[in-house]
Amino acid sequence: MKYLSEYRDPELVHQFAEELHRITTKPWTIMEICGGQTHSLVKNGILEMLPKEITMVHGPGCPVCVTPIGIIDEAILLSEKPDVILCSFGDMLRVPGTKKSLLEAKAEGADVRILYSPLEAVTLAQQNPDKEVVFFAVGFETTAPANALSVVQAAKMNIHNYSILASHVLVPPAMEAILGDPENKIDAFLAAGHVCSIMGMDEYYPVAEKYQTPIVVTGFEPVDLLQGILMAVHQLEKGIYEVENQYVRAVQREGNQIAQETIHEVFDIADRSWRGIGQIPKSGYELNDVYKQFNARIKFSLGETAIDGTNECISGEIMKGLKKPFQCPHFGKKCNPEHPLGAPMVSSEGACAAYYHYQGIESKELTETV
Amino acid sequence: MRLDCPLPKFDFDIITLGHGSGGLLTQRLLQSGVFDVLKNDLLDQQHDGAILELSGKVAISTDSYVISPVFFPGGNIGELAINGTVNDLAMCGAQAKYLTLAFILEEGLPITEFWEILVSIKEAALKAGVQIVTGDTKVVEKGKGDKIFVNTSGIGLVHPKANIHHNRIKPGDKIIISGPMAAHGIAIMSLRKGLEFETTIESDTRNLNHITQQLFDLFGANIHFMRDPTRGGVASVLNEVAGMTQLGYVLDQKQIPVDEQVEGACEMLGLDPLYVANEGIFIAVVNPLIAESFLYQLRKEPEFASAAIIGEVVDDHHGKVLMKSRIGGRRVVNYLTGEQLPRIC
């Protein structure tokens, strides 16, 4: 398939892997930010191809995983109102709230719809004037432009029965939170290619400089990932820390300015609570005052979002790269995709799901024996 | 093959509760509809059941079809219901002989749609060489069904040389797939509300009884196991078999045929084709000594030209399915949990 098969070329993958083995002289810990990258690393067996000196740790870039349980409970609460149609991306449905998941609420009769685009939710609102349509707007900078656009469209079309429950998070503040953690072990980052295709690269220069950490904007296919890791190791071995772009076919330094303008038209930067990590200042988006009538929190008077209670899920340690999924005592036992203790086990971008699906519950053993 | 079966003149346009009452309306629907189209000696007796003569080993299977939408690129629920049960029997090594056919119709179903499904059933039955010998029709209130549900049960005669059982699978056996996977699931997905995308992908629904009977003629008991990977796809079938046999299964991703458009749609939707449903392919686990000639015979038929040896059975990682990725890495292929859901980004 054009633009995919080239980046899955076994020959090229092996060339990069060999080069990586040749240049690596010291142990390095590299974090890939995005859960999509984590899945690609595990699914394609790339981790096994790396020199033993290189440890990949899996970052917080799984929007589903970092959504606080309190917001999931709010979404469930809204979905159970008789006049509400709650729309969501598919990933969110299996994530456990305090008592149940959206999928269970749906089975009990709540009107929960899986959509691919928030613009479909606006159409749904138009078609159902006697219902309140709420879009569960979860995601990083990648999904923010489409979610923002849905609000702009609804305002233009004078649609009053549409609102969004926003839980938007931002990558650079999370990277800073990880780097500023006293337990931090990260030597370099692979930044999320698709986030940068929207936001560009400018935000990353100060981070690389302040923490003296190389950042390589990287894609998602095997060739992308190996090349990204190679570029990071090159920098580490030379003792430099720059922002580089591996994903040149999709990312320009300034990003997508139309998308950025749309985001800034409807969203303000706000503090956000990250599941398992805690509050990170200025790490998310919330609807601004001009568009507040589209804010489901205000429309339905939801009040303060509950702070996460104690939970046996160690998602915070997983997403900060302090632990691997198989180091969790519950992995594959008490916590599995049918009975998850936390989101990383059920999200298609969750690190625990990646290990469970592609390496199995004895993943450590498998990694060692293969 | 298209049958020339014009819609008879009914004095109703839609199915109503009366059509399931057993009274006059039921009779009119059956007499000038179902019985006419599906006509054969056994059905024509219009008895409570059918009396059959069979000798030898008999296989039996049943399946219900609740697909939405009922019409999809490459077919409809009618032919699916025939091919599905015919294929389940074929996987037992049997040639389907007789089927039962039961409808649960939702009030309001347009008679034209019912007719089209009925004609497809007839065509599929003719192609498979199977007779529909008894059946049932019920109607439920609007909102209590999804247009039409179909159940078919079938019995067939097991090929004298066939000996299919999971406990006959041995380390060293080759795993063969009869064609590209995931077409059916993606064709359905392309029509689902909110996911509509333009494509020419069609369901792979087809009968597999003729080809499997030919293969049993030639290879008999060297075919150790056969299964059609419908719901849950190839990954689910192999996981089930791995669990039952407690042997290891290794797939080679490079060898697994997937149509390019299907692969593209899977990429776009965030689905893994290994877990997507099929309705017209089978997986065979065969003695390695005959694997190449089995493949050669299979590929002679245009419908199965992209059949491939996709892996083998090993005496290692017992009960698990592993896959060698295209780039040479290895991963576990696990059971699917719940439904495959589209992802955020």
3-state secondary structure A241-256: CCEEECCCCCCCCCCC
Measuring CA to CA, which residue among A48, A67, A64 is closest to residue A56? A48
Q: Which domain holds residue A68?
A: 1-307
Question: What pLDDT, on the 0 to 100 scale, is given for residue A308?
Answer: 59
- Do A345 and A261 lie in one domain? The reply is no
Mean pLDDT of chain A: 91
Q: Are B252 and B311 in contact (CB under 8 A)?
A: yes
How many Å apart are CA A194 and CA A7, to the nearest integer?
A: 16
Nearest CA in chain A to B340: A90
pLDDT digits (tens, 9 = 90+) for B237-247: 999 999 999 99
pLDDT digits (tens, 9 = 90+) for B30-75: 877 788 888 888 888 888 899 998 999 999 999 999 998 999 999 9
Last residue of a domain, one of A277, A307, A337: A307
Q: Please give the class, per CATH, of domain B17-158.
A: alpha beta
- Do A288 and A330 lie in one domain? The reply is no
Q: Which tokens sit at B329?
A: 């890495």
* B143 three-class SS: coil
Q: How far A8 CA lies from chain B's nearest CA (Å)?
A: 7
The CATH code of the domain that includes A236 is 3.40.50.11740
Least confident window among A91-100, A253-262, A287-296, B147-156: A91-100
pLDDT digits (tens, 9 = 90+) for A227-279: 999 999 999 999 999 999 999 999 999 999 999 999 999 999 999 989 888 89
Q: Are strands A54-61 and A28-34 parallel, antiparallel or unpaired?
A: parallel
B125 pLDDT above the threshold of 80: yes
A360 pLDDT above the threshold of 90: no
Task: Give long-range contacts, CB 8 A cutoff, 24+ apart: B235-239.
Answer: B235/B272, B235/B274, B235/B275, B235/B321, B235/B333, B235/B334, B235/B335, B235/B336, B236/B275, B236/B335, B236/B336, B237/B283, B238/B175, B238/B283, B238/B321, B238/B333, B239/B321, B239/B333, B239/B334, B239/B335
A185 pLDDT above the threshold of 60: yes
* Contact residues, A window 181-210, toward B, CB-based 8 Å cutoff: 194
Q: What is the mean pLDDT of residues B12-20?
A: 88
pLDDT digits (tens, 9 = 90+) for A299-334: 999 877 666 555 788 888 888 888 889 999 999 888
* Contact residues, A window 64-123, toward B, CB-based 8 Å cutoff: 64, 89-94, 103, 113-116, 120
- Higher confidence at residue B8 or residue A158? A158
> Between 3.30.1330.30, 3.90.650.10, 3.40.228.10, 3.40.50.720, what CATH number should domain B166-333 receive?
3.90.650.10
User: Alpha carbon of B67 to those of A259, A342, B110, B191, B192: distances in Å?
Assistant: 39, 32, 17, 12, 11
> CB-based contacts of A217: which residues, under 8 Å, 6+ apart?
A190, A191, A192, A193, A196, A201, A204, A228, A243, A244, A245, A246, A247, A251
Nearest CA in chain B to A46: B329
Q: Are strands B71-72 and B58-65 parallel, antiparallel or unpaired?
A: unpaired
Residue A358 has its nearest CB partner, among B267, B324, B331, at B331
> Which chain B residues touch A338 with a CB distance below 8 Å?
337-338
> Which chain B residues touch A92 with a CB distance below 8 Å?
344
pLDDT digits (tens, 9 = 90+) for B74-83: 999 999 999 9
**B119: enclosing H helix or E strand:** helix B111-128
A98 pLDDT above the threshold of 50: yes
A13 touching chain B per CB within 8 A: yes
Question: What pLDDT, on the 0 to 100 scale, is given for residue A307?
Answer: 60
The alpha helices in chain A, defined as continuous H runs, are 10-23, 35-43, 63-66, 69-79, 102-107, 118-127, 144-156, 171-180, 193-199, 204-211, 222-238, 257-266, 296-299, 315-319, 351-359, 363-369
Identical fold between B17-158 and B166-333? no
- Do A279 and A170 lie in one domain? The reply is yes
Most confident of B5-9, B29-33, B188-192: B188-192
Residue A43 has its nearest CB partner, among B267, B331, B342, at B331
A222 touching chain B per CB within 8 A: yes
Question: What pLDDT, on the 0 to 100 scale, is given for residue A225?
Answer: 97
pLDDT digits (tens, 9 = 90+) for A188-222: 999 999 999 999 999 999 999 999 999 999 999 99
CB-based burial label for A96 (10 Å; 0-12, 13-18, 19+): buried
B345 pLDDT above the threshold of 60: no
Q: What is the mean pLDDT of residues B188-210?
A: 85
pTM of the full predicted structure?
0.86
- Polymer length of chain A: 370
Residue A109 CB: number of other CB atoms within 10 A?
10
Last residue of a domain, one of A273, A307, A341: A307
- Domains: count for chain A: 2
Q: Are B322 and B331 in contact (CB under 8 A)?
A: yes
- Do A195 and A141 lie in one domain? The reply is yes
> CB-based contacts of B281: which residues, under 8 Å, 6+ apart?
B177, B178, B179, B180, B181, B204, B208, B228, B229
A369 pLDDT above the threshold of 50: no
Interior CA angle at B156 toward B151 and B161, to 5°? Answer: 145
Question: What pLDDT, on the 0 to 100 scale, is given for residue A366?
Answer: 44
